[in-house]
């Protein structure tokens, strides 16, 4: 029956394996020093979110001139100060903002910006220069830099089916978990259990076969740890019924159940608004704002907000001038939105983008995104940023 089970198993899910006890030292080491465990939650808005219609420069004439059909009306915006305002679809975040749990950094980018989605995403995920090709991501390199202490893939979790480049290091990789229960279930796969159960250390050589078995065993260990640590926690907070909100709910469950995970990664796509931007971006921003507001309130309720920093980025902003199809094309600098209970400078961090001095119709960046990363690495994840970013960045003062 057992073997037949295997080939008749029809569902293909992310999953893991059984391993014998002597290969399971990882869980035993966990569960200490849980208090004060700081989490970073990275939210990626894919497609190039239009920052100018997200955090609206509602008192700037140039904005209205360049976007005569898609500018957010002054009467619709939710003012944050006398220069910038929320898109109305972010209304749920206003309360969070007013409580001092949100910070907005304007004009973040990098020199010689690339307007191709995949290249620019690559640059943001690997933290490379724009003419440099790195094969591992910045969170992956953070894992590498700590690999003396960090041995578990679940130190960084992407709530998704596949793992982003940002999460892959040269030595260490994070783990992708869409659904911890499904992941755990496949550890009951009899054939894989057989296969791994009778492995011995001869397989854990430094060669590629050893690497494959090592990955299997780590996947097993992590699946077991994640499921068993998080299964009893019940989220009481109410989240919107969207997939994105569900992913943040999963992150909350992980954080609140005390998973020893330092970095979480979640993505929301649909921001490449070349056509009919207002409707499309509005829907996506509402999904984003409602979910993040629920998430922040949840963490506040469970006293985890002080230990959590949320960072939202997109691979680029969009051109200042709209196009002929009531949309916007690929641009450059953009804003980064941060949330947390321990923000040093809540509110708007730096001056709004300068719409009068453009570079070929695009915003000029004022802050290198790697200075944002450096701040997070140095002050939140406690690792020297030059170990991860390959050179030292001065960093900022938002935490």
Within positions 91 to 130, which residues make up the interface with other proteins, using CB under 8 A? 116-119, 121-122
CB nearer to other proteins: pick between 48 and 109: 48
Q: How distant, in Å, are the alpha carbons of 190, 204, 350, 393 from that of 200? A: 18, 8, 57, 45
If we measure between CA atoms, which residue out of 101, 32, 155 comes closest to residue 306?
Answer: 101
If we measure between CA atoms, which residue out of 210, 193, 240 comes closest to residue 19?
Answer: 193
Q: Which of 65, 69, 205, 243 binds other proteins (CB under 8 A)?
A: 243
Question: How many CA atoms lie less than 13 Å away from 101 in the CB half-sphere?
Answer: 24
- Say if CB 145 and CB 387 are below 8 A apart: yes
Count of residues that interact with other proteins, criterion CB under 8 A: 76
Show the tokens assigned to 347: 């509110």
Choose the stretch contacting other proteins; rule: CB under 8 A; options: 153-161, 228-236, 251-259, 334-342: 153-161
User: How far apart are the C-alpha atoms of 261 and 174, rounded to whole Å?
Assistant: 10
Q: Which of 20, 74, 100, 133 binds other proteins (CB under 8 A)?
A: 133
- String of contacts with other proteins for each residue 158-187, x by CB under 8 A: --xxxxxx--x----xxxx-x---x---x-
- String of contacts with other proteins for each residue 302-321, x by CB under 8 A: -------------x------
How near is the Cβ of 211 to other proteins at its closest, in Å? 6
Q: What is the dihedral of CA 239, 242, 248, 252, to 10 degrees?
A: 30
Considering the rule CB under 8 A, would residue 209 count as an interface residue with other proteins? Answer: yes
Residue found by looking up tokens 């050589």 in the block: 205
If we measure between CA atoms, which residue out of 159, 139, 161 comes closest to residue 150?
Answer: 139
DSSP 299: H
Considering the rule CB under 8 A, would residue 399 count as an interface residue with other proteins? Answer: no
Q: Which of 144, 218, 290, 298 binds other proteins (CB under 8 A)?
A: 218
How near is the Cβ of 182 to other proteins at its closest, in Å? 8
How near is the Cβ of 252 to other proteins at its closest, in Å? 20
Q: Which of 31, 34, 238, 275 binds other proteins (CB under 8 A)?
A: 275
Considering the rule CB under 8 A, would residue 391 count as an interface residue with other proteins? Answer: no
Q: Which of 100, 201, 211, 384 binds other proteins (CB under 8 A)?
A: 211
- Say if CB 123 and CB 313 are below 8 A apart: no
């Amino acid at each position: 029956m057992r073997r037949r089970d295997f080939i008749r198993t029809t569902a293909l899910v992310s999953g893991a394996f059984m391993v014998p006890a002597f290969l399971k030292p990882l869980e035993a080491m966990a569960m200490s020093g849980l208090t004060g465990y700081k989490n970073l939650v990275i939210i990626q808005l894919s497609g190039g979110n239009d920052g100018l219609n997200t955090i609206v420069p509602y008192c700037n004439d140039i904005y209205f001139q360049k976007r005569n059909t898609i500018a957010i009306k002054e009467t619709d915006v939710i003012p944050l100060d006398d220069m910038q305002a929320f898109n109305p679809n972010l209304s749920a975040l206003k309360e969070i903002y007013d409580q001092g749990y949100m910070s907005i950094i304007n004009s973040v980018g990098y020199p010689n910006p690339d307007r191709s989605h995949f290249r620019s995403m690559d640059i943001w995920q690997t933290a490379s220069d724009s003419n440099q090709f790195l094969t591992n991501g910045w969170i992956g390199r953070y894992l590498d830099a700590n690999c003396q202490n960090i041995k578990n893939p679940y130190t960084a979790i992407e709530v998704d089916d596949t793992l982003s480049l940002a999460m892959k290091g040269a030595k260490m990789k994070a783990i992708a978990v869409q659904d911890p229960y499904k992941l755990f279930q496949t550890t009951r796969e009899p054939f894989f259990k057989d296969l791994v159960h009778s492995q011995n250390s001869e397989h854990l050589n430094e060669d590629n076969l050893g690497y494959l078995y090592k990955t299997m065993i780590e996947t097993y260990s992590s699946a077991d740890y994640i499921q068993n640590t998080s299964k009893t926690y019940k989220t009481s907070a109410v989240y919107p019924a969207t997939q994105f909100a569900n992913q943040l709910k999963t992150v909350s469950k992980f954080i609140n159940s005390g998973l020893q995970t330092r970095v979480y990664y979640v993505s929301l796509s649909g921001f490449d608004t070349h056509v009919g931007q207002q409707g499309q971006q509005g829907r996506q921003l509402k999904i984003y704002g409602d979910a993040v507001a629920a998430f922040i309130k949840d963490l506040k309720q469970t006293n985890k907000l002080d230990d959590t920093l949320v960072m939202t980025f997109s691979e680029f902003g969009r051109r200042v001038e709209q196009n002929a199809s009531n949309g916007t094309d690929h641009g450059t600098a953009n804003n980064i939105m941060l949330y947390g209970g321990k923000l040093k400078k809540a509110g708007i961090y730096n001056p709004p983008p300068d719409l009068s001095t453009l570079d070929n119709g695009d915003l000029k960046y004022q802050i290198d995104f790697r200075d944002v990363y450096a701040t997070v690495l140095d002050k939140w994840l406690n690792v020297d940023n030059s170990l991860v970013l390959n050179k030292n960045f001065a960093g900022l003062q938002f935490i």
